[in-house]
Chains A and B, each alone.
Chain A
Amino acid sequence: MTATGRVMQDAFARVSAGQGTLIGAARAAQDGTMPDLKALGLSTTQHST
């Protein structure tokens, strides 16, 4: 969860500055997580709902 959390928290900080939304932060964290999982060589799927 380290990289996922980092991306999410960066987005939370932007929300506190009036940029973006919390759900946008969650989506950004998902987008930021997938490359890491692939880099680990893991089989993955992702869902937007």
Chain B
Amino acid sequence: MPGRHSRRSVLAAMAALPLTGAVSACSSKAAGGARSTGGTTRIAFWSALRGSQEVVDAFNRTHDRIQVDFQQIPSGGQGGYAKLSNAARAGNAPDVATIEYPQLPGFASDGVARDITALVGDGLRAKLLPQALGLTTFQDRVYSVPLDVEPMVMHYRTDLFEQYGLQVPRTWDEFAGLAHTVARKAPKRRLVLFPTDGATQFAAYSWQTGAHWFDTSHGAWNVSLADAPTRRVASYWQQLIDDDAVFMNAVDNRQSDAQIADGLVLTRLSGAWDAGAQMKARPAQQGQWRIAPLPQWDPARPYVGTHGGSTFAVTKDSRHPEAAMEFIEWQVSHPDSLRARLSSGTSSQYPAATALVAVGRKAFDRSYYGGQDIYRLFEQEAHKIRDGWVWGPG
């Protein structure tokens, strides 16, 4: 039943902060640490992303007019977002902050992430996968720039599939049938885990199916978390849970680690980034994993949602939004930036800037996945990211 509340429209909330670029030329000390000294503009950058220091070092080595002061902060859920909110409340948020896709609408509605539409030029727009930029754009206003976008894929134990004579499922019907087969043939094992801490995975399944949990049409946040596609997804997984055909526990804990390490779970449904995470976490499983497309409801009309991925926002407190954007554009689109990030360790992040896919592919050691060109798969799947999904601000 619709219920309308109109203290402030979505547009009013999000467009309340005009760009303050004109201020930058005369500022000497900005909130958040940005300064202009002797022709060099210094900007502050906070991130929890691994490799950020290496990226900043590479930027600072190759730029004179702008220098970046970097602070590593905890990940969002571990206090990073609270730190950013508190800094913004005190008026000293950094010029640039890392915000994950699901959290961006909240920071935009709060006014922490500023409207950067005018600063995102056609050149940068052309470099980015349209679906990625679409996730940081609300009613035609851009609030952050995507670094990576992570299509959901199916990581699977090729050795166990072979041992049990299993075929890689192409559809959700086949996947359900396989879940029952695994439970019957290997009673201690399950095809997959339904994560109790996986709201974003449930969102991605629903997104793939055509759900729209949030939208901003007609000047309001319209909320529908139990729409028909979501009910279809919920019913599908509920049946597998009721049949004891899947594990159901948290993924971010030791139990889940043991399920993967001990070969008790045969697939992981997660973003492209998880390929690199798996390599780092379980090097002894080299050669045992491959990656396939996420199962589809209708293979003739394939879609996926995303799971993971980060963006860079310019905050309301930045006195140097143009300099901040110059750093952001370099960070998301320059090959040396990705090379610097990858120098900090293995990663399979899928770049939102399409030209950087070749850089990631070249740097990635394929031996863990038996020589599979997983970037080719990610590229194919990224184009299936379904348009129209909007994360909510709550």
Contact = CB atoms under 8 A, between A and B. Distances in A.
A, B bound: yes
Interface of A: 1-6, 8-9, 12-13, 15-16, 21-23, 25-27, 29-30, 32-34, 36-38, 40-49
Helix, strand, loop or mixed for chain A's interface? helix
B222 interface: yes
B2 A3 contact: no
B241 interface: yes
Contacts, number: 155
A23 B106 CA distance: 24
A1 B4 CA distance: 20
B306 to A, nearest CB: 13
B222 to A, nearest CB: 5
B119 interface: no
Contact of B5 (A15, A21, A43): A43
Helix, strand, loop or mixed for chain B's interface? mixed
Interface string B198-239: 111011000000000100001111111111101100110110
A49 B198 CA distance: 23
A41 B7 contact: yes
Interface residues of B, number: 53
B237 A37 contact: no
Contact of A1 (B5, B102, B195, B238): B102
Given A42-B8, A46-B3, A30 B200 contact: no
A30 B241 CA distance: 22
A29 B320 CA distance: 38
A44 B222 CA distance: 6
A49 B224 contact: yes
A42 B13 contact: yes
